[in-house]
Amino acid sequence: MAILVTGGAGYIGSVTVEALEAEGYDVVVVDNLSRGHREAVADDVPFYLGNIGDRSLIQRILNENPITACMHFSAFAYVGESVEKPQMYFENNFVQTAALLDELIAGGVMRFVFSSTCATYGEPHTIPIDEKHSQNPTNPYGWSKLFVERMLSAYDNAYGLRFVALRYFNAAGATATRGERHDPETHLIPLALKAAAGEIEQLSIFGDDYPTPDGTAIRDYIHVSDLAKAHVLAVSYLENGGESDFINLGNGDGYSVREIVDVVSRVVGRDVPASLEPRRAGDPSRLIADASRAKTVLGWQPEFPDLESIIRSAHLWRAR
Ligand code: UDP
């Protein structure tokens, strides 16, 4: 019995592989290393280099390993890039996922944990956002993930695929050994840390004309270890016969870009040089989770909900 983790060399995937191993699961990773890092996966974890849409590769993995469930992390996940290169997002995140699902179902792997996103909601009309909130994404990234959600529901109905689609809010922070190392980096917290360290000249603040108290956009930041823990709970929920579900993962607290800048500067003990820039295309103004379903359905409890601890963990990891 083993779990196939796609994108296991990426940020959230690699932390989850660690968490699965700590719970005694056997793990197999497939990753094309387009954005991940080979060294983020321990040497004793079986590793397959390639695309999730490569049907013969997936067939080979299923033939060579006793896979009973798949956690699907691999995807492109930059809102701004998705607006500029939608073709790349729909091909990688949707078309390749369809091929992966075909091969899993053909191979009898009927449990699937999917990395979905709060970007599937679009601009919210109620805060906090619960899972019944309407879904009308403001960018191709969100649509590429929503298409997969719709496909999963249809496959449950037609083929009996059982899934948990976890709608992440903003993943942040690090464990002692795994953290965020995107290239190029586009996320707020790592860029603010780089600006504080003098590694980049300044942080760009994308827009201060949002309908929020300080005019900058608000997000709900969740520690990557808490995300990983929810994945382990989701797979065990499916193993125990749980029904397919869509579940938010966030802390229920919203912080503006300017608040993040303040906390980063407090944690690092240095100013974060910043300049004001126009809004980034595709960004909603405010995304805050109602994560009560994660607690009631999965029994999830965040261990590191405090923003300062989240940012400190990212800082420590960068400085290791
Ligand atoms: N942001 C910013 N400057 C940056 C990167 C991000 O002002 O250099 C803002 C971005 O517009 C959004 C928030 O910070 O409102 C979080 O962005 P991030 O890219 O970290 O995550 P996303 O919400 O896009 O998943």
**DSSP β-bridge partners for residue 4:** 28, 70
For residues 199 and 143, the answer to whether their CB atoms sit within 8 Å is no
Position 36 scores a pLDDT of 95
For residue 290, pLDDT beyond 90: yes
Residues 285 and 142 in one domain: no
- 273 and 150 in a single domain? The answer is no
Query: Is residue 194, in this structure, part of any structural domain at all?
Result: yes
Q: Is residue 177 part of a domain?
A: no
DSSP string across 84-121: H-HHHHIIIIIIHHHHHHHHHHHTT--EEEEEEEGGGT
Residue 183 maps to a domain: no
pLDDT level of residue 218 (50, 70, 90 thresholds): very high
Atom 14 of ligand 1: nearest residue by CA position: 188
The CB of 12 under 6 Å from ligand 1? The reply is no
Residues 63 and 164 in one domain: yes
The angle at the Cα of 214, spanning 212 to 217, to the nearest 5 degrees, equals 55
Kindly report the CATH number assigned to the domain that includes residue 227. 3.40.50.720
Q: Does residue 227 share a domain with residue 262?
A: no
Residue 214 CB neighbour total at 10 angstroms: 12
Tell me the pLDDT tens digit for each residue of 142-188: 999 999 999 999 999 999 999 999 999 999 999 999 999 888 899 99
Residue-wise pLDDT tens digits, 32-84: 999 999 999 999 999 999 999 999 999 999 999 999 999 999 999 999 999 99
Determine the structural domain holding residue 161 and report its residue range. 2-171+223-249
Centroid of chain to Cα 207: 24
Number of structural domains (the chain) is 2
Nearest atom in ligand 1 to the alpha carbon of residue 257 is 14
Same structural domain, 88 and 17 = yes
**Cβ 53 vs Cβ 30: under 8 Å:** no
Overall pTM > 0.85 = yes
Alpha-carbon span 8 to 46, nearest angstrom: 11
CA of 261 to the centre of ligand 1 (A): 11
Q: How many CA atoms lie less than 13 Å away from 273 in the CB half-sphere?
A: 8
The CATH number for 281's domain is: 3.90.25.10
Same domain, 153 and 289: no
Q: Partners of 171 in the beta sheet?
A: 222
Mean pLDDT for the chain overall = 97
What is the rounded distance in angstroms from the CA atom of residue 285 to the CA atom of residue 212?
7
Query: How remote is the CA of residue 291 from the centroid of ligand 1, in Å?
Result: 21
Sheet with 2-6, side-by-side order of all strands: 47-49, 26-31, 2-6, 67-72, 111-117, 162-168, 245-249
